[in-house]
Amino acid sequence: MPYVLPTLFDLGKGDHVTVQSAFGEDAFVAEVAMRDAPFHLVGPDGKTTPAGSTVSLRDLTVFEANVGNDGTYRVTTGQRFGRKGKMFKVGDKWLMRGETDDPKPGTAEVEVQSATIAEAYVTRGEPSNGALKPSGRALEIQALTHPNAITAGSDASFVLLYEGKPLAGEEITVYRSAGYYDGRKVAAQIKGDAAGKFTLKPEDAGTYLILVRHRGAAPAGAETPYRSYTYTLAFDAA
């Protein structure tokens, strides 16, 4: 799973944010550096700001970005395109060759490319809502509860979108960073409703990662006719 992890979600009056990003089998455990991603921030005014230079080690990528004004910023990898492969359909579900048993002889397969986005929100000073506006592109989660207002033991609401429209009935998994130590890695497995909305309740204080995947036809002009989208959103429950 891809992720971005800022050193702080509440920056106080800090003038920059330091972020690490990687792929890993466990939430926030770096295994493969996030190379070639178009990292950037979306500022409180909704405008894109540069992420600054990145440094990629073997396991993780690190960058710093300036945050000059008060408000909430979206930290994002941008959409990163990865490996190409083949997938096949079983019932109404797309499966990737190699992640399960190979398809039965004669099963139709299609070319597919992975597309990943990992995001988090950080706030300097007072929270704002401009950066929470969805991009309207690819797979994304819109926070209905402001990320800085998420607390342990309370509900937080979100909506899953695909190309700017609600995506209903997708499986959503929520991971706990503390689960790497106590074994309770999965905090919740839920599905969005008909309007793509879903609610979760983090039971403990700490850092969480929401993961969702969607597979389907790629936009016209894409390198492959299908894409396998993965989106993650990191947040901190106080």
pLDDT for the residue numbered 105: 83
Residue 133 pLDDT grade (very low, low, confident, very high; cuts 50, 70, 90): very high
What is d(CA 234, CA 122) in angstroms, rounded to the nearest whole number?
Answer: 10
Percent of the chain past pLDDT 90, that is, above it, reads: 81
Q: What is the dihedral of CA 81, 85, 88, 93, to 10 degrees?
A: -30
CA-angle at 221, arms to 219 and 223, nearest 5° = 95
**Which pTM value belongs to this model?**
0.93
pLDDT for the residue numbered 13: 94
What is d(CA 162, CA 73) in angstroms, rounded to the nearest whole number?
Answer: 21
Residue 139 pLDDT grade (very low, low, confident, very high; cuts 50, 70, 90): very high
Average pLDDT, the chain: 93
What is d(CA 103, CA 175) in angstroms, rounded to the nearest whole number?
Answer: 30
pLDDT for the residue numbered 226: 93
Q: Using one digit for the tens of pLDDT, what is the confidence trace for 189-199?
A: 999 999 999 99
Q: Which segments within the chain are labelled E, that is strand? A: 2-6, 10-12, 16-23, 32-33, 40-42, 48-50, 54-56, 61-66, 71-76, 80-90, 93-96, 109-124, 139-143, 156-162, 165-166, 171-176, 186-191, 197-200, 206-217, 226-237
Q: Using one digit for the tens of pLDDT, what is the confidence trace for 155-177?
A: 999 999 999 999 999 999 999 99
